[in-house]
Amino acid sequence: MHPDQRAAMVHGLVAVLLWSTVASAFKLSLRQLTPVQLLFYASLVSLLFLATLLAFRGQLLRTLKQPFPVLVRQGLPGLLNPWLYYLVLFKAYDLLPAQIAQPLNYSWSITLTLLAVPLLGEKLHWPQLAAIVISYLGVVIIAMGGESATSGSLSIPGVFLALGSTLIWSLYWLWESRSGRDPVPGLFLNFLVALPFVMATLIFGDGFLPANPAGLWGAFYVGIFEMGLTFVIWMKALQLARNTAAVTSLICFSPFLSLVLIHFLVGEIILPSSYTGLLFIVAGTILLHRDIIRRGAETPP
C-alpha cells in the first residue's frame, strides 16, 4: 500500500472511531442540557477550535478580512448547519433512544439521492430505486421495533425529526458541494454566522444556565469531536487518499460501532430490530453507491 494511502486509512479510521462516540455523547449530554443549550455551547467550542486552527495555519485574518457582505454570504450555509440541523437532530435524540435516532440519521445519503432528482435533474434507475426501498425498509424495521419495545410509547415526532435532519443535512451538503471553497474556513464562517441565531433561540427559549453544569463537558466533547476536529481529520484522509472509495467505505463501520458504545456508555439494551434495520440501511447505501465504489476500487494504488 502506498504511504499516502496508508496514512489516509489511518486518518479515516480515527475519524470513524471518533464519530462512533458522538451518538452516546449526544444522549449523555442531553441528560444535563436542553437541545438548544447543547447546540449553543458545542457550537461555541467548535467556533473557537476552528478559529484557533485557522490562526495556526495563518488563514484566520485572511478569512475575516473579506468584505462584510461576502462574509455573511459565505456563512449562510450555517443557517442549515449547525443551526437548524443540530437543533432538529438534538431534539430527535432528546425524544428517542439513541439506538433509534442514530440509524435513522444515518439514512441521509438516501435522502440526498432523492433530493438530487428535483434539485440537480438527476435520474433514478431501477437498481437505485431498489436500494432506496431496501434502506427505507430498514427505517420501518427500526421504528416498528422501537414501538414494540416501548409498548407503543415511541415518540413519533422524534422519528420525523430524525428523518427531517437527513433532509436538512442533504440540503446543506448540496449547497456546500457546489461552493468550491476551502472547507475549513467555510465551516468556520458557517459557525460564525449561525452563532447569533443559536443565541437568539436560546435567549427566547431555555436560557443560558444549564440544569447541571457538568453537562458542559459533554458540549465541549461534541463541539470538538462531532463538529470540529473530526471533520478536519476526515478531510485530511480524503486529501491523502489515492483510493477515495477505500477511505469512504470505512464510514459503514461507524453506525455499528456506535450501537455497541450506546449499549456500554448510555446503558441502552440494543434491540435486534436496531441491528437489523441498520443492516438494511447500510446495505441500501452500499448498493446505491456501488458504481462509485467500483470505480474507486479500480483506481491504481
**DSSP conformation letters of 186-234:** HHHHHHHHHHHHHHHHHHTTT-S--SSTTHHHHHHHHHHHTTTHHHHHH
Using alpha carbons only, give the angle 37, 39, 45 rounded to the nearest 5 degrees.
Answer: 105
Domain extent for 203: 3-297
| Domain count within the chain | 1
Mean of the per-residue pLDDT values for the chain? 89
For the CA atoms of 25, 104, 287, 238, the dihedral, rounded to the nearest 10 degrees, stands at -30
Arithmetic mean of pLDDT, 225-232: 92
For the chain, what percent of residues have pLDDT higher than 70?
93
Q: Nearest CA to 40 among 188, 167, 220, 269?
A: 220
User: What pLDDT, in 10s, does the model give residues 105-137?
Assistant: 998 888 988 998 898 888 888 888 999 999 999
Range of lowest pLDDT (67-81, 144-158, 191-205, 233-247): 144-158
Q: How many CB atoms lie within 10 A of CB 199?
A: 15
Q: Note the pLDDT of residue 206.
A: 81
From residue 52, how far is each of 21, 46, 60, 112, 164 by CA, in Å? 24, 10, 8, 32, 32
**pLDDT tens digits, 51-81:** 999 999 999 999 999 999 999 999 999 999 9
* Span of 57-66, 84-93, 96-105, 235-244 with lowest mean pLDDT: 235-244
Q: Which residue has the higher pLDDT, 246 or 277?
A: 277
Any idea which of 73-77, 98-102, 155-159, 296-300 has the lowest mean pLDDT? 296-300
pLDDT above 90 (res 100)? yes
Which pLDDT value is given to residue 249? 78
Q: What is the pLDDT of residue 151?
A: 55
Band (150; pLDDT cuts 50, 70, 90): low
